[in-house]
Structure 1
Amino acid sequence: MKNSPLLGSTSIQECSTLVELLRRRAADQPDRVGYTFLTDGETQEQNLTYGELDKKARAIGASLQAMGVRGERALLLYPPGLECLEAFMGCLYAGVVAVPLDLPDPSRISRTLPRLQAIAASAQASVALASSDVRDGHLAALRKVDGVLDIGQVKWLITDRIEEGAGENLVDAEITEDTIAYLLYTSGSTATPKGVVVSHKNLLANMAGIHAMNEHTPESVMVTWLPLSHDLGLVFTALVPLYGGFRYVGMSPIHFLYKPLRWLAAISRYRGTVSGCPNFAYDLCVRKVPPAERAKLDLSSWAIALNGAEPVRHETIERFIEAFGPSGFRREAFNPSYGMTQATCSVSFVPVSAPPTYLRVQKAALERGKAIPAAPDEAGAITFVSCGRELPGQRIAIVDPETKLEKQPCEVGEIWLRGPGNAVGYWNRPEETEELFHAKLADTGEGPFLRTEDLGFLKDGELYITGRLKDLIIVRGLNHYPQDIELTVEKSSRAVRPGATAAFSVDAGDEERLVVVSEADLGGASPADVVGDIRQAVVEQHDLMPHAIVLVKPGTIFKTASGKIQRRACRAAYLNGTLEVIA
């Protein structure tokens, strides 16, 4: 592990809370620019030193203390930018539980506002923090659309109106490592969003593991477009740089999505060494950044390109390497990883400078729960990407979800995790917390483990993810992974939009049947031909006859903020007839 000067001393290693950590950075490096946000996604910089962040956090913290909300939950309602980070740290200084959120999108009010309302009710929030622009502009616009912004009886703190010297009134909140730092609401990929309770102890342990495995130094540079409402955006991209004392350069997800070149150009310009995002974003760069623009990039500084938060596809890795290798991107930079909000953030990484590892397995054996390597010329084999090894102090066990007995290497089971990074549990859901966060092996009693509800296997100590336990499609006793079917569908027709297909099962009488929902740009294509191509590809590749194939309008399939397909939401919309169908 390569330490920063502070990290090598006891001052950072002995910090038991994030508040102590920021105060130490501010005391020892007050003028160091820790955070840069590109307000236009390109060249307009907003910079924040450690001293300035500490000063802002103190002022917000003192204002919260004056409101008498210690220990209560605070909604953070900000657009992407540094104000949200200031508010987050201000909550921690005051002993208030931060709840970072995405602002509702007025153009998708029927989807995004109910989520905010549900989270506000679940968290029992008593205060909402926002900028004056958000309170008087964005949220006022929502009221015009929705008629009412029902997020409960909250008090408002408009953070850009706080007086300059307010921080002088801050009182030590006497927080400890067991104090709750924040609630982060799950993406809702498989269920109604739940608030994950993360303590300072969980957070510091996870950040220390990430820092160690990625070998960060004070010269590292994080470049990101991920929001603070996502565990990868909050912990991996925003807080780990504070832990390691290196620079963060961020931009809005919207700026990236509209022009993916901006992300790569920022890595090139700022000599970024580490960045990460879900798999779909790498594919988006390949599709949207033309060769002429690639030639202007210098990605040789990029040492860690994390790929996580959704299934990692080896085809994506190879396409990106082929497209951006001439720009200086190295195969060894790709770092497929595994993590989840319930484990604070990260669980496993590939060692730095090690190339991605692929494993082709027999399809028939996988359907029976075994990962048996396939022969090089074996048709129909399925390729998985290694997500590396667990963080220091973390244990990964592959467990039979029914018997709760540990599986052998190369046997598929539920991924269980044990370690200090595991979150406290779900907010106000004691039964689910007991079931998922306090699991024990049936034979030895070892625990507590976190049940991830993800499926995978271990081979040579490395973790391979095969799917999601609740999304698993079981037809005629055989297991089918939805992401494999979705990839087949995407390849079946040019009209199918990449990263916009959901495969799930429905009860059709006496058996489960497959349904496919895909966004489509038909152009001049016949809907019947596109459906026919999809059906033929699924039958040939998976020996499954789809019960239904539905083509929907572009931009209407359900996704999380990080771009993951919400299969359960798509299934519900299919069953109640609310999909925006074009064929």
Structure 2
Amino acid sequence: MVLNISYPASKMLTFVDILTQRAQQQPEQTAYTFLHFGEQANSELSYGDLDRQVRSIAGRLQQSGCEGKPILLLYPSGLEYITAFLACLYAGAIAVPMYPPSSERQIPRLQTIIHDTQAVTALTTTWTYTKIAQKFTHIPELQALQWIPTNTIYPSQYDDWIKPALDEQSLALLQYTSGSTSTPKGVMVSHSNLQHNSAMLQTQMGMSEHDRGTSWLPIFHDMGLILGVLQPLYTGYPTVLMSPTAFLQRPLRWLQTLSDYQTTVTYAPNFAYDLCLRRISAAERARLDLSHWQVAVNGAEPIRRTTLDNFSATFADCGFHANTFMPGYGLAEATLMVSARKRHTGISVKQLDKAWLEQGYVKTANAQTRPVNYAVSCGQGPRDQQVRIVNPTTQVQCQPDEIGEIWLSGPSVAHGYFHNQAATEHTFHAYLADTEEGPFLRTGDLGFLHDDELFITGRLKDLIIIAGRNHYPHDIEQTIEQSSPLIRAGCSNAFSIEVGEQECLVVVAEVRAIQTKYTSDEREQMIAQLSETIRRNIAEQHEIKAYQIELVQVGEIPKTSSGKLQRRACRTLFLAEKLKKWDE
């Protein structure tokens, strides 16, 4: 059933309005199905049941005086996460989506977010709370929280829910920047941001109530939450969910679900399509029917032309069509989506002269005569959103053939970083130096526009994106330096390089001179053990495999005159094999 949701909207319609209307008009229609793959029976929620559960939890939150306050959500993947998130919106509270900690290394990030939000309440399940309480009794921040197990709250238990008074400035959630960083920043996403981005997604992707969705993306990340959970609710189509672990353990589960439920819309980073290519056999492909699949969103990390081509060719016999792919670009600071290709239009790829590209210019070339890089179009954005390509140094708009930083303005741009005015000013309040046009959001990503379509060429920031996850170099560098006293403090670099169409991690670290009392064989053994220790620590603390560990002489790591690391310069030296190894 189509609700009266117009775009552009003359009146702000929140997700509180949308769910209450769907519960009234379509109470028996299934909204979400969660697959457990034999661990327990699959679970479902209709719009009516969802609204009743959400109202009851929201009533409990309002009774506790949580309106306008940040509420931590600490759930594993499941329908409980969805009801808790929507309950925060119903209560006029600010949802803070997170994942329950399972190891000590996840605690510092959680502590930082608790301090940043000043949250005093956490929603979870009884089972999850028991595990946290038993394992982390020594963490005062967790002990001080008021824990509310929402599985103990039943419909009609709190039937005095009052619809909150929300306006365009009312915050819906704090989306903390992803990746293993010691200083995460909470992106302030308002109810109007969510409404605009959802309307934009529906229009850009041609979604309707006749679609059927499937998602394995983590709900506590922006793509999984907004595309996987909120967009189906906004548009009115049913969706089937599973945990990220279920997909990663067996990628066939994702495509089998698309086949079984005749899914039309799904979403994933580039690595997921690669994983399906590597892990699904010909015999398993023979049992798949992907002919109903109409939208395969590819985003959240660099999009590889070879992945799109190979997936289309490999799964063509299953009914998959190349025009199903929908490359897109987005970030949490813009709520989610910035741009995407239109439905059924397929992909558009530019062959860029590699030499010109390295100099920051766009020039097409013939791959048979010149080395080229392939840039995949991420489509266009809506009319009421402005995209500028800007020289990040001069802050002047680039010429059409120049690559620059992507700047944005529009109703989907979030309100800044929670309790971080300095970072908000730098990132959200940028102005063009020559025209003083602004404010713009600085994305930190590099790209260019061609025929109003956005192409991403790289990252201005040092963010490392591998297998759909963001890794911050300074966190990895800290792990390296803590691995041994032999590593000089402040003298290690982490960056990514491309190896066979995959982003791989390389670390370079300066090693102190080893005392001459050791023999040559003993020194080599010490270095070998050090390399293994670094590799193991990175794997354990960041869940990432180091492709190469380069241990170099003192003074080899390039720095600015003020002592700051120059990661790009180090990467260039590494690729040129100009770094002096520890034993040279």
Q: TM-score range by the shorter chain?
A: 0.7 to 0.9
Q: CA deviation at 1:152?
A: 6.3
CA separation in 2, counterparts of 1:472 and 1:382? 20
Residue identity matched to 1:486: I
Indicate whether 1:140 and 2:151 are aligned.
no
Change (3 A) 1:324 1:7: farther
Indicate whether 1:34 and 2:31 are aligned.
yes
Partner of 1:125: 119
Partner of 1:401: 392
Q: CA deviation at 1:384?
A: 1.3
CA separation in 2, counterparts of 1:303 and 1:41? 28
Which of residues 552, 556, 560 is equivalent to 2:535? 552
Residue identity matched to 1:314: R
Which of residues 236, 242, 245 is equivalent to 2:227? 236
Q: CA deviation at 1:55?
A: 0.8
User: Alignment partner of 1:446: what SS?
Assistant: coil
Partner of 2:14: 17
Residue identity matched to 1:327: C
Change (3 A) 1:434 1:10: closer
How many pairs align? 507
Higher Rg:
2
Partner of 2:476: none
Q: CA deviation at 1:7?
A: 4.2
Residue identity matched to 1:552: R
Q: CA deviation at 1:25?
A: 1.3
Matches within 5 A, 1:63-462: 63-105=60-102, 109-136=103-130, 138-143=131-136, 147-148=138-139, 150-151=141-142, 153-188=144-179, 192-462=183-453
CA separation in 2, counterparts of 1:282 and 1:141? 38
Q: CA deviation at 1:176?
A: 2.0
CA separation in 2, counterparts of 1:428 and 1:564? 34
Change (3 A) 1:557 1:303: farther
Change (3 A) 1:42 1:177: farther
Q: Is the 8 A contact 1:439 1:450 kept in 2?
A: yes
Q: CA deviation at 1:549?
A: 12
CA separation in 2, counterparts of 1:44 and 1:294? 26
CA separation in 1, counterparts of 2:508 and 2:199? 40
Change (3 A) 1:446 1:559: farther
Q: CA deviation at 1:506?
A: 7.6
Unaligned residue ranges in structure 2 (runs of 5+): 465-493, 512-523, 549-556, 558-563, 568-584
User: Alignment partner of 2:427: what SS?
Assistant: helix
Partner of 1:536: none
1:133-165 deviation digits (Å, cap 9, x = unpaired): 1112x3134327xx4363362211111112432
Unaligned residue ranges in structure 1 (runs of 5+): 474-481, 492-497, 509-526, 532-547, 576-583
Q: CA deviation at 1:322?
A: 2.1
CA separation in 2, counterparts of 1:275 and 1:264? 10
CA separation in 2, counterparts of 1:222 and 1:57? 22
Change (3 A) 1:240 1:89: same
Q: CA deviation at 1:32?
A: 1.1
Change (3 A) 1:397 1:17: same
Partner of 2:505: 502
User: Alignment partner of 1:187: what SS?
Assistant: coil
Residue identity matched to 1:55: R
Q: CA deviation at 1:185?
A: 0.6
Partner of 1:543: none
RMSD: 3.3
Partner of 2:553: none
The share of aligned pairs that are identical, in percent, is 41
Q: Which moved more, 1:4-13 or 1:300-309?
A: 4-13
Indicate whether 1:486 and 2:520 are aligned.
no
Change (3 A) 1:195 1:120: same
1:504-537 deviation digits (Å, cap 9, x = unpaired): 78899xxxxxxxxxxxxxxxxxx99xx9xxxxxx
Residue identity matched to 1:223: T
TM-score, normalised by the number of residues in structure 2: 0.80
Q: Is the 8 A contact 2:409 2:439 kept in 1?
A: yes
Q: Is the 8 A contact 2:53 2:154 kept in 1?
A: no
Residue identity matched to 1:93: Y
1:276-330 deviation digits (Å, cap 9, x = unpaired): 1111111111111111001100111111101110111111112211221111111
Q: Is the 8 A contact 1:189 1:564 kept in 2?
A: no
Q: CA deviation at 1:173?
A: 2.1
Change (3 A) 1:29 1:446: same
Q: Is the 8 A contact 1:17 1:176 kept in 2?
A: no
Change (3 A) 1:452 1:550: farther
Q: Is the 8 A contact 1:399 1:415 kept in 2?
A: yes
Q: Which moved more, 1:200-209 or 1:166-175?
A: 166-175
